[in-house]
């Protein structure tokens, strides 16, 4: 570690200069299209969380940048993601959740799980672009749909 700030800078997406969120290598390996797989080495990877940026993942240790088109699934917060999956394990979209709240009376996470099968048999580490459980994002969509 040094005190020049270089370590911090490496966490920034080289395309948009915004700070990404760290993801596991195993997640990146499952997300990229097959032809890119050999380029994904065991390094530190970040997911660019800027919706307007075309980069999905980048490495802080190499020049590797993976574009959103080089990822097998649309990344839900990227501008033109279609469909917008929220629960990737069960392919539940933002529209499914909003519909369940507005038209099927869902009020909370339990209702959504029952109505959409979200979060069933989750393997988030290899199915979700962040590698993490989608439950906080589901909650956010519920809140928005309820107007909270
Ligand atoms: Zn970016």
| Domain chopping of the chain, boundaries | 6-70, 85-146
What phi-psi label fits residue 78: left (phi over 0), alpha (psi between -120 and 50 degrees) or beta?
beta
Domain 6-70 shares a fold with domain 85-146: no
> Among residues 112, 88, 117, which one has the least CA distance to residue 98?
112
CATH code at 85-146: 1.10.10.1100
- Model confidence band, residue 9 (pLDDT cutoffs 50, 70, 90): low
For residues 5 and 51, which has the higher predicted lDDT (pLDDT)? 51
Q: In angstroms, what is the span from residue 136 Cα to ligand 1's centroid?
A: 22
Report helix, strand and coil shares of the chain as percent, to nearest 5: 35, 15, 50
Sheet containing 65-67: order of strands: 21-23, 45-47, 55-59, 65-67
The tokens for 17 are 């200069």
- Per-residue model confidence as pLDDT tens digits over 81-127: 999 999 999 999 999 999 999 999 999 999 999 999 999 988 999 99
CATH code at 6-70: 2.20.25.270
Q: In angstroms, what is the span from residue 34 Cα to ligand 1's centroid?
A: 22
What's the CA gap between 9 and 84, in Å, rounded?
A: 30
Q: In angstroms, what is the span from residue 122 Cα to ligand 1's centroid?
A: 27
Work out the number of other CB atoms within 10 angstroms of the CB of residue 31. 27
Q: In angstroms, what is the span from residue 31 Cα to ligand 1's centroid?
A: 17
pLDDT at 2: 44
Q: In angstroms, what is the span from residue 24 Cα to ligand 1's centroid?
A: 18
């Amino acid at each position: 570690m040094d005190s020049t700030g270089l370590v911090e800078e490496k966490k920034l997406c080289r395309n948009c200069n915004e700070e990404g969120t760290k993801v596991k290598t195993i997640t990146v390996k499952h997300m990229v299209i097959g032809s890119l797989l050999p380029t994904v080495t065991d390094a530190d990877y970040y997911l660019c969380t800027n919706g307007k940026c075309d980069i999905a993942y980048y490495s802080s240790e190499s020049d590797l940048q993976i574009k959103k088109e080089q990822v097998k699934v649309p990344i839900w917060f990227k501008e033109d993601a279609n469909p917008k999956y929220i629960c990737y394990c069960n392919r539940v979209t933002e529209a499914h959740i909003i519909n369940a709240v507005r038209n099927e009376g869902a009020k909370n996470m339990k209702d959504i799980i029952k109505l959409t099968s979200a979060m069933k048999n989750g393997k988030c580490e290899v199915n979700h672009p962040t590698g993490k459980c989608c439950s906080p994002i589901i909650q956010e969509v519920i809140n928005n749909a309820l107007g909270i």
